[in-house]
Amino acid sequence: MTSTASAAPASAAPESPFVSEPDATGHFGEFGGRFVPEALVAALDQLTDAFHSAQADPAFRTRLSDLLRDYAGRPSILTEAQRFSEHCGGARILLKREDLNHTGSHKINNVLGQALLVQRMGKTRIIAETGAGQHGVASATAAALLGLECVVYMGEEDTQRQALNVARMKLLGADVIPVTTGSRTLKDAINEAFRDWVTNVDSTHYLLGTAAGPHPFPLMVREFHRVIGVEARAQMIERTGRLPDAVAACVGGGSNAIGIFTAFVGDPGVQLLGLEAGGDGLETGRHASTITGGSLGVLHGARSMLLQDENGQTIESHSISAGLDYPGIGPEHAYLAQTGRASYRSITDAQAMTAFALLCRTEGIIPAIESAHALAGAMELGKELGPDASILVCLSGRGDKDVDTAAAYFGMPTA
Amino acid sequence: MSALTEALDAAKADGRAALIGYLPVGFPDVEGSIRAMVAMVEGGVDIVEVGLPYSDPGMDGPVIQRAVEPAVRAGVGPRDALLAAKAVANTGAAAVIMSYWNPIEHYGVDRFARDLAAVGGAGVITPDLIPDEAAAWFAATDAADLDRVFLVAPSSTDARIISTVEACRGFVYAASTMGVTGTRDNVGTAAADLVARVRALTPDAVVCVGLGVSNGDQAAEIAAYADGVIVGSAFVRCLLDAPTPAEGITAVRRLARELAGGVRRRASV
């Protein structure tokens, strides 16, 4: 079961490695593309051109990698979770510590990349959507660093539940606009950001926080997060002498997962596992599992998998984790699932919180509840793969923001 | 010739722009919305845009959102839009459906086109479907002999204006401003500039202008250079602001009369 990179394939003819690249108009197979008002096409074309020219520009790449090192704190370290491993069938569990980045999650990678692009395009204002507030805080941070105006759209309910992050964004100089339309959650914050963008597109860049939305966002956000997987792949080889048997990451829109998967997509021996938020359980209908419990459709500018009713209306998602509480998913994940290159499972709130508590007590690390879904997936998979396996887990964020939620969940009295 | 083209041609023969009115099906309820659409026709609207409510209307401003949200919650969907299109077609006015793409795709692209043609609908306006992604929609609308309307915007390049006009059948929808739906005090010069660009690039295009038009004066202003004037949020506001549904329908009819006067004003100048 435990295939390794050094083990030669049994068959004589080497298989060509799996490739996951979009076509020129952003399609991963039947997924992706652009389902947007015509008014936004010019801005998306401008962004696509700016992104490709920046990627080819050594000065841009140097500026970004300098910021990632000197500001965000990269490379992030790899931590072997030995005591936690005992609860994972003995499989070696190694954590890619995105929680230690500046602002506390992987989100800073993409935000710094896009903010530099904003400057390159000569725009002065960024808008962003946020659910739990992590992407909003990261966006406000980059805006402060580069002197950009920043407006963050956040569902009204989330502004109340995540008051601490609202305060952080305001301290950083951002305007936080509570969204009172629709279901007043992340998906409506995205709608409102698109409405702002179409109205102010000359001055404004929409700094989308996940690997979803219209082309070029899924590709661009992946590329800015690719560094997670590139670092982790080298660290795994250095630490364990080989590639991991599996890579596990939580998936809402899917940015940390695509960032860590991308470096391993061409490694046939490495299993890629995305963990979706299962809320109260798939069977209850109260979840945020778009691949394991959704269907094909178009939402927020791309064709992918989503939660929808019989009329094609988006269904509200449910998860204890605000960062995974989204009824859509990036198109590349839908493609990786369809082709079988990655597999996806649903993790309930209860499973995630069990893993959350366990990591706190066995490793002294309080993970984001989002990342706890990946940990719960590793617990399942480790028992299936056994003690010879090694599993790389993307610890996408830290759990400071989740302390109130966790205390309430575990019935702990708080001051 | 489609009912849509007939209506546009008839207005042109009259020496005026056509008047196109939008209302979403399902607000205040399905029956009430259909009555309001019929009232628009009685007031002088030539073409009715039947809005199919959608949970994530990214191109709509607060007025239309307020009407659409309760309709979505009430479970209004494609079948109700087809019902409304049929009722409008029965009045003799042209019925087109305005819908975001996902409800159509989920209903079934071919099935939707077939079912709309079967109830006498003339075509569909798709605000978040660009021709680049519309291969299946071209095939379905061709097979069902339906018109299909895409949008151009002030930000569209010349090349995209040409390709979008080529993809349209019926008319091309010119978005007057960069922004979302909603009434505006002033539709500005962007609309006139855009229509001039469309005409220069594609002289045979039939161009209708929407976004922001709310009264007879604005309708007259746009009718001076466009083939059709599209009014949405102002009609929706009639229903939202009315103390009773019956008064809402009266207000819709009154606004339609005012706008119908507006698109004819130029002819008498």
Q: Report the pLDDT value the prediction gives residue A164, as an integer from 0 to 100.
A: 87
Which tokens is A102 given?
């500046």
Render pLDDT for B84-119 as a digit per residue (tens, 0 to 9): 999 999 999 999 999 999 999 999 999 999 999 999
All domains of chain B in start order, with CATH: 3-151+214-268 (3.20.20.70)
Q: Report the pLDDT value the prediction gives residue A302, as an integer from 0 to 100.
A: 98
In terms of DSSP bridges, do strands A246-251 and A302-306 run parallel, antiparallel, or are they unpaired? unpaired
A121 CA to centre of own chain: 25
Render pLDDT for B160-212 as a digit per residue (tens, 0 to 9): 999 999 999 999 999 988 888 887 777 678 899 999 999 999 999 999 999 88
> CA separation (Å) from A410 to A385, A403, A406, B69?
30, 10, 6, 36
Phi, psi of A325 (to 5 degrees): -85, 75
Active site residues of A: 107, 129, 396
Confidence check: pLDDT of A415 > 70: no
H or E element that contains A150: strand A149-155
Question: How much of chain A exceeds pLDDT 90, in percent?
Answer: 90
Confidence check: pLDDT of A12 > 60: no
Contact A314 B55 (CB under 8 A): yes
> CA separation (Å) from A137 to A134, A305, B92?
5, 28, 55
Q: Where are the strands (E) in A196-270, listed by range?
A: 204-206, 246-251
Question: How much of chain A exceeds pLDDT 70, in percent?
Answer: 96
What would the CATH number be for the domain defined by A72-104+225-409?
A: 3.40.50.1100
The DSSP code sequence of A155-195 is: EHHHHHHTHHHHHHHHHTT-EEEEE-STTSSHHHHHHHHHH
Confidence check: pLDDT of B225 > 70: yes
* Among A41, A198, A297, beta carbon nearest to B130: A41
H or E element that contains A305: strand A302-306
Chain B residues with CB-CB distance to A313 below 8 A: 54-55, 72, 77, 103
Confidence of residue A181 (pLDDT cuts 50, 70, 90): confident
Q: Helix (H, G, I), strand (E, B), or coil: what is residue B261?
A: helix
Confidence of residue A55 (pLDDT cuts 50, 70, 90): very high
Q: What is the mean pLDDT of residues A36-64?
A: 97
* Among A39, A301, A314, beta carbon nearest to B155: A39
Q: What is the mean pLDDT of residues A324-341?
A: 97
Confidence check: pLDDT of B269 > 60: no
Look over chain A and give the mean of its residue pLDDT values, rounded to a whole number: 94
Choose, from B46, B49, B80, B147, the residue flagged as catalytic.
B49
Contact A37 B59 (CB under 8 A): yes
Question: Strands across the sheet with B18-24, in order?
Answer: B147-149, B123-125, B94-98, B47-51, B18-24, B228-231, B207-210, B172-175, B151-152
DSSP letter assigned to residue A39: G
Q: Report the pLDDT value the prediction gives residue A213, as an integer from 0 to 100.
A: 98
CA neighbor of A32 nearest in space, from A40, A43, A21, A42: A21
Which residues of chain A form CATH 3.40.50.1100? 72-104+225-409, 107-211
Give the ipTM: 0.96
Contact A201 B155 (CB under 8 A): yes
Q: In chain A, what are the helix, strand and coil shares in percent, each to the nearest 5? A: 45, 20, 35
Contacts of A5 (CB under 8 A, 6+ apart): A237, A242, A243, A267, A269, A270
Chain A residues with CB-CB distance to B106 below 8 A: 297, 308, 310-312
For residues B63 and B241, give the distance between their C-alpha atoms in angstroms, rounded to a whole number.
10
Min CA distance, B268 vs chain A (Å)?
Answer: 35
**Is B49 a catalytic site residue?**
yes
Q: Report the pLDDT value the prediction gives residue A158, as an integer from 0 to 100.
A: 86
Render pLDDT for B11-30 as a digit per residue (tens, 0 to 9): 999 999 999 999 999 999 99
Q: What is the mean pLDDT of residues A28-39?
A: 97
Q: Report the pLDDT value the prediction gives residue A185, as an integer from 0 to 100.
A: 85
- Poorest-pLDDT segment among A40-44, A156-160, A251-255: A156-160
Render pLDDT for A219-240 as a digit per residue (tens, 0 to 9): 999 999 999 999 999 999 999 9
Question: How much of chain B exceeds pLDDT 70, in percent?
Answer: 98
CA neighbor of B76 nearest in space, from B54, B104, B43: B54
Fold assignment, A107-211: Rossmann fold (3.40.50)
Confidence check: pLDDT of A88 > 50: yes
Q: Report the pLDDT value the prediction gives residue A14, as an integer from 0 to 100.
A: 60
Q: Tokens 């379905």 sit at which residue? A: B140
The DSSP code sequence of A43-96 is: HHHHHHHHHHHHHT-HHHHHHHHHHIIIII-PSPPEEE-HHHHTTTTT-EEEEE
Q: Where are the strands (E) in A207-285, listed by range?
A: 246-251, 271-281
Q: Where are the strands (E) in chain B, listed by range?
A: 18-24, 47-51, 94-98, 123-125, 147-149, 151-152, 172-175, 207-210, 228-231
In terms of DSSP bridges, do strands A286-288 and A271-281 run parallel, antiparallel, or are they unpaired? antiparallel
The residues in A 368-407 lying below 8 A from B, measured between CB atoms, are: none
Is A368 within 8 Å of A402 (Cβ atoms)? Answer: yes
Contact B178 A201 (CB under 8 A): yes
Q: Helix (H, G, I), strand (E, B), or coil: what is residue B205?
A: coil
